[in-house]
Structure 1
């Protein structure tokens, strides 16, 4: 079956145009960053690194990085936000944040743990008895660190057939797990690590069940408001709020195709549907990684690491998984955060454990191990350079 690129009359296999382009459905492979000489960390050196990335074969049309150190902000960008107009990327431009939205579901869940509404050892059987009995022993902790064993709904034939037929299909976000309700767990809960989009759907459903409040409102009350996020939302449809960073499919043949509004966000919801801006994501990761939303006891639990658990795509340096957060150990030090990729976008948000220094790194094409392993290695190397600039505090 072919998926038509109607804007230019081209086509490509559906497995590429939907599975790889929409939901980052592949399991994360720990691609290692390429070794390179120690780079300059000033603005000129970082600018060159971004320009080289944009000009690389299959590189993103645009990149914007926001580095924040205390009250000082540096914005480094290359390429364009929109190929038609040539407009430059801006920190207030909207974008799809992909799987970094999983950190938001973690923020909601851990805030409810702090409030006493949820416990990390609460099970699906206790909180969501309507889900399959075979899943009942899975705990909130295992959902948040991707050791649950839940089958990934976004890989199910039923889900994909609907998406192939109509990329703008309006899914019932609260019934996404129905696509795999007839399947057993992939492994005993807690026995291994496997990144799954189902995990964060279940987290949001647990949060709704214990509060009687819709997940979108919980995001507003527990995350957006405390951290001052004014341009962040969880839409159901496919339209992007203006202005926005246009996301592109840069795979051959050229020219790139705008895929910013390719799919409905109802099919990814709490697992990857949030729209935000580089400025808002900077505020979010500083507060989230820095533990501003809950107390030190919850922060300690969040930072119990599953060694080698990588985000998707893998972040810079060595990756270890916590509760809806990852530890990235680079050659220059440690930052905490999350990555994500979806149609037209690849994201990294990271901050020091105290939240004082942060990096938001956004590209306008999808870069991952399954499709573009060489470009991913290059991206991770550039991201590590930016982390080093952040941690070394060079002017």
Structure 2
């Protein structure tokens, strides 16, 4: 369902079709080792929102100004009811506005935490069990996959082949990045493939896992995944600007995401790809304000019971999110633990053409940090290292008086 549009700073101008749609599509979903660089247009903070920590503001500005840096960045710290907002660069090249708290953006693989929230809420209600298997819930899927459990899907130890690496899927996406996929049939692209390894034997991040999680949730309830998101995540947390679209349009206003093909100038790829090809694995659109609220609810006690949270926080050491978050990473059920030099937080990361995301909170749900930038930073390993350092320093600010 396409979200409603509201007036925006860019509403009056036509949206040109990006030149690099095919390149963006492959970069998004093939996990290629392409290197990209972006040149920021400007840096600054929002009016009336002076940063609380000049060092963090400087680091965010330096990230934007770095070679290949994103044109825009916004970080939100929430500590015991008090909010700090840090901004650098612009929400759209050619305009002066900094990224806003209510600007829409693609949250990429942080959407996997949303599917974790839906599934674990159903575990709380005894509609699903963590030991429920694909064979029980989704028997049409390959027999070789039938022993895989919901738990293994949620912590990426399932062994499912990743449909986003399938040549046929990539051929379709490359030919038409806005192709409307049947989201509920995405696993068909790898249905002729065996498991990569015995379920539960090791960790391997796979976009297929969360497609299967959403399908299990639908089978258990007889309701569409989009409806389950509204009922079990959006409404309890008061998220009114968060959605899971099928098309390529973003609701207004939005932070424009960029890619570059040197020596060409930065290219707007905000609407280069449709969301149907990533669905429960990466298609959610939200805002910095609501991403902050979500991660406090999911990492904290608001959405899940204590017994289910204990299961959620049984971590697989060395299980890194994609891209890796700050510090040492460990994989839980639809959530990761990031152990930094200043302490540990729980959350998720994500990247998509034009966007890179980090969202984390303390286990009590009282403190959170999100860092959102408007380029696909992991395409540049050096820039990703700089971003991870910046994220860790924000975590230290978050935990600084503990």
TM-score (norm 1): 0.91
- Alpha carbons of 1:8 and 1:204: their partners in 2 closer, same or farther (altered >3 Å)? closer
Cα distance per residue 1:17-43 (max 9 Å; x no partner): 3222x236369xxxxxxxxxxxxx952
Distance 1:10 1:224, change over 3 A: closer
| Alpha-carbon distance in 2 for matches of 1:237, 1:8 | 15
**8 Å contact 1:23–1:341 — kept in the other structure?**
no
- Contact residue 250 and residue 365 of structure 1 kept, 8 A: no
Structure 1 residue 110: deviation in Å?
Answer: 0.1
Unpaired segments of 5 or more residues in structure 1?
1-5, 28-40
Normalising by structure 2, we get a TM-score of 0.89
Query: 2:94 aligned to 84, 96, 99, which one?
Result: 84
Q: Distance in 2 between matches of 1:322 and 1:139?
A: 14
Q: How far off is 1:151 after superposition?
A: 0.3
User: How big is each residue's C-alpha offset from its partner over 1:23-80, in whole Å with a ceiling of 9 and x where there is no partner?
Assistant: 36369xxxxxxxxxxxxx9521111001100000000000000000011000000000
After superposition, the Cα gap between the structure-2 partners of 1:238 and 1:350, relative to the gap in structure 1 and judged at 3 Å, is same
Please point out which of 321, 329, 335 is paired with 1:319: 329
Whether the 8 Å CA contact 2:159–2:197 is kept in 1: the answer is: yes
> Post-superposition shift, 1:7?
6.1
2:340 is matched with 330
Matches within 5 A, 1:99-178: 99-178=109-188
Query: Quick one: distance in 2 between partners of 1:270 and 1:331?
Result: 32
Q: Distance in 1 between matches of 2:18 and 2:56?
A: 38
SS in 2 for 1:265: coil
> Per-residue CA shift, 1:82-114, capped at 9, x if unaligned?
102222111000000000000000000000000
1:164-208: per-residue Cα shift (whole Å, max 9, x none)?
111110000000000000000000000010000000000000000
Q: Give me the whole-angstrom Cα distance separating, in 2, the residues matched to 1:85 and 1:178.
A: 43
Structure 2 gap segments, 5+ residues each: 1-14, 34-50
1:377 to 358, 377, 385: 385
Are the counterparts in 2 of residues 145 and 321 from structure 1 also a CA contact under 8 Å? Answer: yes
Q: In the alignment, what sits opposite 1:235?
A: 245
- Deviation at 1:294? 1.4
The equivalent position to 1:96 in structure 2, one of 103, 106, 119, is 106
Match of 2:360 in 1: 350
Secondary structure of the structure 1 residue equivalent to 2:204: coil
Contact 1:118 1:210 in 2 (8 A): yes
Instruction: Give the whole-Å Cα distance in 2 for the aligned partners of 1:250 and 1:71.
Output: 39
Aligned-residue Cα RMSD (Å) equals 1.8
Q: Structure 1 residues 247 and 196 mapped into 2: Cα distance closer, same or farther (>3 Å)?
A: same
2:301 maps to: 291
Task: Please point out which of 380, 385, 395 is paired with 1:387.
Answer: 395
Number of equivalences:
371
**Separation in structure 1 between the aligned mates of residue 352 and residue 340 of structure 2, nearest angstrom:** 25
SS at match of 1:267: coil
- For residues 380 and 158 of structure 2, the distance between their equivalents in structure 1, rounded to whole angstroms, comes to 28
Distance 1:66 1:266 in 2: 29
Which residue number in structure 1 is paired with residue 56 of structure 2? 46
Task: Please list the CA deviations of residues 336-376 of structure 1 after superposition, one character each: whole Å capped at 9, or x if unmatched.
Answer: 000000010000000011111100110000011xx211000
- Which SS does the other structure have where 1:187 is aligned? coil
Hey, what does 1:18 align to over in structure 2?
A: 25
Q: Is the 8 A contact 1:286 1:351 kept in 2?
A: yes
Which residue of 1 is the match for residue 68 of structure 2? 58
Counterparts of 1:238-257 in structure 2 under 5 Å? 238-257=248-267
